[in-house]
Structure 1
Amino acid sequence: MRIACSLGSLLSVKQVLQCTEMLSETKIDSVWIPETWGMENFSMLGAVANNTKSQKIGSSIINIYSRSPSMISMGAATIDFLSDGRLILGLGTSSIPIVEDFHGVSFENPVQRMREYVEIIRLALTKKQINYSGKIFNLKNFTLLIEPKRQSIPIYLAAINQKMVNLTWEVADGVIFYLRPIDEMKKTIAEMQLQKKIDVTCQIITCVSENSEEAIQRAKKTIAFYVSVGKIYREFLKKNGFETDVTN
């Protein structure tokens, strides 16, 4: 087991940078930066790359509805170069309110869209010219102008429902699980790893404080934040024994 740290969206930019400076002096495996509608992920990863030494750095996650696959491949290649090959590219579909209300894009075909993003990003990092014809995207004569540090950057997918879990085990190098009941998560991992071994990351809401009650309230605030913006989280938690908690 490896220990990593994901610095939450409710932290300020200054706090994230302070944390990464401290984490750089530890033996922690990786540092992850989320993105909602505050800090822009690639900008922050550039700063984190400069603040850290040996730790891997990850996006947790890049909302695929917020950028084209070509733009994400450009950002990933840039950050991987700046970090000397330490990037893990975490991708996700975000939630309907964020995608439609904040980005003005229809939340359509999330699984197929994710499949095509992964395919296009992997092709782009090879530095070969891309002519891609998909159900959603059609690219002509696209090639990265810069030479990628690596032609294969690890891609992890945030997965909640089973269709996205299945896709993750099919096309990704790793999975990012979040807000999943432990028993359900163990069952899913055991079943899926029989098909194919991929890296599994499990994000656990954590608050370090000398005051236990303050820590509990801070953790609850984070849970409420995600449940409020994500119907998919609400429905998933209801299905797995937390209907009363979510409703209240």
Structure 2
Amino acid sequence: MERDLHLPVASLPDLDDVVDLFERGESLGYDVAYLPETWGRDAVTTLSLAAERTETIGLGTSILNVYSRSPTLVGQTAATLQEASDDRFRLGIGPSGPQVIENWHGAEFGNPLRRTREYVDVIRQTLSGEEVRYDGEYVQVGGFRLRCDPPEPAPPVEVAAMGPKAVELAGRFADGWHALLFTPDGLRDRLGDLERGASLGDRDPDAVRTTLSLNCCVLEDGERARSLARQHLAFYVGGMGTYYRDALARQGYEERANAIYDAWQAGDREEALAAIDDDLLDKLTVSGTPEQARRALDRFEAVDGLDAVAVSFPRGAETGEIRETMAALAPA
């Protein structure tokens, strides 16, 4: 079982603070440090700086969305970051959600599964160094070829997915699956979808690296840690469109998911937080004191078929609290 990081990129005071977390993660023995790309600082520039200031830790995106950049540009970016990092890069892509794509990027959010599949195909063609010709439903490319040498080895192309069909797609076509907002039992269900997808693609499911991005907050002040984790969970289920609400509902928590969502949408933050009891918080996060958190992490790492847990952090955590959590959950 590998231990990764899913680092914040937008909210820290300055860019140097973000890159410092990569250096700390490397010194603590983490395997890969991923960056999301939401709002604020972009992931590509930040990863370029991290590649310059680290030597051994893997670097990746989790995720670049498949709407705001063309697939050939994503392929060029992956090739460049692979070169900049001396072959330590992993490309994570995914559709994100309609709230982000339509409201922030002004693009139509349509048929995300098909679009993701086409991006995987074109990115791989781009990274091969061969001429790219592709006539898809959403992507049409003719005559493009990298002018520089293609990366050798090419970086893995991983896919973020939450629903059954999306996870099946990851198992069938991608080099890895990024999971988010899963209980251990919910994760086991989706791993079955991954295996089915691998079978449809005549692939070995063990060849698909599975990574769970897990909301973690570990402090000597355990109540503060749990409060931050609860606020983060309420924000995602209640405030980030319906994808996270629906993902939680599929795992047997439909009534609770709707209660969080409805309260948040009505502006009742306290009611949304109250709908997340301690049992649900423990099933979806690792939060509390170091002793509590290590036991909680064991429950996730015991899931058969999971290759890595990526320690992520609540959106309200301060820089010192992120560093404390990283140190508490560092690989042995």
Same fold (TM over 0.5): yes
Comparing both chains, which one has the higher relative contact order based on Cα–Cα distances under 8 Å and sequence gaps of 6 or more?
A: 2
| Aligned residues of 2:90 and 2:158 also touching (Cα < 8 A) | yes
In the alignment, which residue of structure 1 is the partner of 2:309? Answer: none
How big is the shift at 1:23?
1.4
| Aligned residues of 2:26 and 2:56 also touching (Cα < 8 A) | yes
CA distance in 2, matches of 1:115, 1:242: 30
CA distance in 2, matches of 1:32, 1:178: 13
How big is the shift at 1:46?
0.7
In the alignment, which residue of structure 1 is the partner of 2:104? Answer: 102
Residue deviations 1:90-111 (CA, integer Å, cap 9, x gap): 0111111110000000100111
Moved more, 139-148 or 165-174: 139-148
In the alignment, which residue of structure 2 is the partner of 1:222? Answer: 232
CA distance in 2, matches of 1:191, 1:117: 21
CA distance in 2, matches of 1:200, 1:83: 22
CA distance in 2, matches of 1:149, 1:22: 27
Residue deviations 1:75-131 (CA, integer Å, cap 9, x gap): 111111000111110011111111000000010011110011000000001111112
CA distance in 1, matches of 2:29, 2:153: 27
| Aligned residues of 1:125 and 1:150 also touching (Cα < 8 A) | no
Is 1:233 aligned to 2:235, yes or no? no
In the alignment, which residue of structure 1 is the partner of 2:123? Answer: 121
CA distance in 2, matches of 1:20, 1:32: 9
How big is the shift at 1:191?
5.4
| Aligned residues of 1:84 and 1:149 also touching (Cα < 8 A) | no
CA distance in 1, matches of 2:241, 2:79: 30
Instruction: Choose which of 153, 159, 169 in structure 1 pairs with 2:161.
Output: 159
CA distance in 2, matches of 1:45, 1:208: 25
Superposition CA RMSD, Å: 1.7
How big is the shift at 1:14?
3.6
| Aligned residues of 2:36 and 2:64 also touching (Cα < 8 A) | yes
Is 1:242 aligned to 2:244, yes or no? no
| Aligned residues of 1:35 and 1:41 also touching (Cα < 8 A) | yes
Q: What is the number of residues matched between the two proteins? A: 248
CA distance in 2, matches of 1:14, 1:76: 23
Q: Percent identity?
A: 32
In the alignment, which residue of structure 2 is the partner of 1:213? Answer: 223
Counterpart amino acid of 2:20? Q
In the alignment, which residue of structure 1 is the partner of 2:311? Answer: none
Counterpart amino acid of 1:165? V
Secondary structure of 1:88's counterpart equals: strand
CA distance in 2, matches of 1:156, 1:242: 28
Unaligned runs of 5+ in 1: none
Alignment map for 1:1-248 (pairs within 5 Å): 1-9=1-9, 11-12=11-12, 13-150=15-152, 152-190=154-192, 192-193=194-195, 195=199, 196-197=204-205, 198-227=208-237, 228-246=239-257, 247-248=259-260
CA distance in 2, matches of 1:151, 1:56: 14
| Aligned residues of 1:125 and 1:151 also touching (Cα < 8 A) | no
CA distance in 1, matches of 2:192, 2:97: 27
CA distance in 1, matches of 2:193, 2:126: 32
Secondary structure of 2:215's counterpart equals: coil
CA distance in 2, matches of 1:152, 1:78: 11
| Aligned residues of 1:23 and 1:52 also touching (Cα < 8 A) | no
Secondary structure of 2:109's counterpart equals: coil
Q: Which runs of 4+ in 1 moved over 6 A?
A: none
| Aligned residues of 2:10 and 2:41 also touching (Cα < 8 A) | no
CA distance in 1, matches of 2:99, 2:189: 30
Change (3 A) 1:214 1:178: same
Unaligned runs of 5+ in 2: 261-332
Change (3 A) 1:210 1:10: farther
Q: Which has the larger radius of gyration?
A: 2
CA distance in 2, matches of 1:181, 1:55: 27
How big is the shift at 1:61?
0.6
Counterpart amino acid of 2:227? Q
